[in-house]
Chain A
Amino acid sequence: MSNYLILATIIFTIGAAGVIIRKNLIVVFMSLELMFNSANLGFVAVSNALNLVSGDIFVIFVMVVAAAEAAVALGIAIAFYREKGTADIDEASELKN
């Protein structure tokens, strides 16, 4: 099991690094998906080791949320691009004012 967990951690870290260092909205979004997936992997692995299925059920819900999130996030991305003409998330500084 710990192999799977270490693998999940690696993927998670890569995803996190991507979220932090990339500025392209789409890539940030994809990095987030990576992190989701690593978490899913962790759930499934633990669930398997403990002979449970609740982890697997949870993964399904995560997928649902991810799908919903994808729909909304990409909608936002389109709107954002239309507004700013770029995908650089540093341009999204409305919160400051």
Chain B
Amino acid sequence: MEALFYIFSFIAIFSALMVISMKNPLTSALYLILCFFAFSGFYVMLDMQFLAVMQILVYAGAIMVLVVLVIMILNISKIKRVETDFHQKFIGILISLIIFVEIIFYIINGSQKKSTGIFTGAVIKKIGNTQIIGEFLFTKYTLSFEIASVLLFVAIIGAYIFAKKKF
């Protein structure tokens, strides 16, 4: 288990770094898909197979396909390269590191809460994670679920209007 975690970690971090450092957006996109796969591995390890599947379906499947499609449409690799000056790179990395250190500080200094829930790994395995999530989604979070669907609907219309040739 431990070993699997470290392997996936390595893949995730490496591919994330490649995402932001590759010159060609298409390459970045492919590395991002790799990264998402690593993430779905984590979800499996955390007893959330449903999420893992969703990760691959939604992110790797839907979103990344969309991204790649856009890159293809725009033919971005051919257009003028956009370069970031060193100045900005330096500040960006510095700030990211500061944020990183700070968050790590919180994680280390933070006191861990006692587990209060009833959904231990055994329970989840017994009922099945898909069923648990489904029950919650359609009872406690019904309203949010409906709003989310409206949001998606709006987003579809929005995307259509934005991408239309003429406003």
> Per the CB under 8 Å rule, do A and B touch in the complex?
yes
Q: Which residues of A contact B (CB under 8 A)?
A: 1-7, 9-18, 20-24, 26-27, 29-31, 33-34, 37, 40-41, 44-45, 48-54, 56-57, 59-61, 63-72, 74-79, 81-82, 85-88, 90
- The tally of residues in B whose CB lies under 8 Å from a CB in A reads 85
Of A37, A41, A76, chain B has the most CB atoms within 10 Å of the CB of A37
Q: Which residues of B contact A (CB under 8 A)?
A: 5, 9, 12-13, 16-17, 19-20, 25, 28-29, 32, 35-36, 39, 42-43, 46-48, 50-51, 54-55, 58-59, 62-63, 66-67, 70-71, 73-74, 76, 79-80, 82-84, 88-89, 91-93, 95-97, 99-100, 103-104, 107-108, 112-113, 115-121, 123-124, 129, 132-133, 136-137, 141, 144, 148, 151-152, 154-156, 158-163, 165
Of B16, B115, B129, chain A has the most CB atoms within 10 Å of the CB of B16
Given A34-B19, A61-B148, 9 additional A-B pairs, CB 8 A: A9-B103, A11-B12, A16-B99, A21-B89, A27-B19, A30-B29, A48-B47, A52-B119, A57-B133
The reply to whether B163 and A9 form a contact with Cβ atoms under 8 Å apart is: no
Residue numbers in A under 8 Å from B16 (CB-CB): 10-11, 14-15, 34
Shortest CB distance A19–B (Å): 8
The reply to whether B19 and A2 form a contact with Cβ atoms under 8 Å apart is: no
**Which of A5, A10, A21, A53 lies in contact with B132, CB distance below 8 A?**
A53
Shortest CB distance B32–A (Å): 5
The reply to whether B155 and A68 form a contact with Cβ atoms under 8 Å apart is: yes
Would you list the 6 A-B pairs with minimal beta carbon distance, nearest first? A20-B92, A75-B162, A18-B20, A68-B155, A51-B117, A75-B159
Shortest CB distance B112–A (Å): 7
In the complex, which residue of chain B has the Cβ closest to the Cβ of A71?
A: B159
Can you offer 24 A-B residue contacts whose CB atoms are under 8 A?
A: A2-B107, A6-B104, A10-B16, A11-B16, A13-B99, A14-B16, A14-B17, A15-B20, A30-B25, A33-B59, A34-B20, A44-B46, A44-B51, A45-B42, A48-B47, A51-B123, A53-B119, A57-B133, A61-B144, A66-B58, A68-B152, A70-B62, A71-B159, A75-B161
The reply to whether B20 and A68 form a contact with Cβ atoms under 8 Å apart is: no
The reply to whether A57 and B137 form a contact with Cβ atoms under 8 Å apart is: yes
